[in-house]
Amino acid sequence: MAEKEESIKLLKPKIDIVFQSLFSKKNEKITKAFAEAMLDEKVKKITINDDKELFREKPEDKLGILDLELDINDREKVDIEIQLVDRSNIQERLLFYFSKLYYNEVKKGDDYKKAKRVVMVAILDYDFNLTKEIKRMETKWKLREENAKDLVLTDKIEIDIIELSKVRAEYEKNKQNKKAQWALFINDPNTKEVKEIMKENEDIEEAVVTVHKMTEDEKMRRLADLREKAILDEKAIRRKGYEDGHEAGYEDGRTEGRAEGRAEGRAEGLEKGRTEGKAEERKAILNNLKKMKLSTEEICKILNITTEELEKME
């Protein structure tokens, strides 16, 4: 790349505004290469759904979650999610999204056998407590028989989880690992590792060039910077919530009383923390954006919500 390009700090593709613009119909070649790496398979035919409906129960639920919905080789439905904020309920969220995708594959009156295989890839930008003892960057989850682990009920269900905090170590073990290469790029294209990868991986080089063009777009850069700030604000507010005792009931429940008291305290404290934390997050982030005198359209794009949802938040 040119010297000028190297001097510019590129936008991070893990920010959803950047991610969804990069992996889209207009960049089919890049998206196809990314999908092949994530799925470990050759993609002969790809359909990119740019008009997907984001599954969201509440406005705040989508903050920090990115979507890439694909149809692969006419036999697989693939959804790639990036979770930037740890809400301690990623398993339930993934199951919710997965069930929606799988349900939509079978139309009324269709044979259930016509349903496509559904694969969900979740890229986490935090340490996943459930797999903290596993050093691999990726874990694959399927429905298995309890006493015969090799016996899988169906091959139509799969959830893959990739932890960005473990990617660099995986790459150092095998620098030809394309999944690790793409994950490093998604996390931060400004690193020396990505510059190294670009020398051999033409698809990632093309992706970096595309992100460079996006970075030069003043409006895109402004929106992406504000979106990243909104996510950082949410993380800071959540940390403050813990410090201020939003989850005091949870801690008290863990350390005091009988087993019943611990369970009750944990549930009550956790729910209280979630409720108070979400309300505080929405209010603080929205107030910060209003101070910047942004338009309603820009605020909705940064928060990933509709105008109707914004009105309810105010």
Q: pLDDT by residue (tens digit) across 225-249?
A: 988 888 888 777 766 655 555 444 4
CA distance 206 to 211: 9
Q: Is the pLDDT of residue 157 over 80?
A: yes
Give the burial class of 272: count Cβ atoms within 10 A of its Cβ; 0-12 exposed, 13-18 middle, 19 or more buried.
middle
- The mean-pLDDT minimum among 54-63, 98-107, 140-149, 285-294 falls in 54-63
What value does the mean pLDDT take over residues 144-162? 93
| Most distant pair of Cα atoms in the chain: their distance | 66
pTM for the model stands at 0.76
Q: Report CA-CA distances (Å) from 118 to 173, 268, 313.
A: 30, 35, 34
CA distance 127 to 61: 20
Which has the higher per-residue pLDDT, 57 or 194?
194
Residue positions counted in the chain: 314
Q: What is the pLDDT of residue 103?
A: 83
CA distance 273 to 281: 12
Q: Report CA-CA distances (Å) from 167 to 59, 157, 186, 261.
A: 31, 24, 11, 40
Q: Is the pLDDT of residue 251 over 50?
A: no
- Written as six digits, the tokens of 69 are 């919905």
Determine phi and psi for 304, rounding to 5 degrees. 60, 50
- For the chain, the helix, strand and coil percentages under 3-state DSSP, each to the nearest 5: 55, 15, 30
Of 127, 59, 133, 55, the C-alpha closest to 92 is 55
Q: What is the pLDDT of residue 148?
A: 93
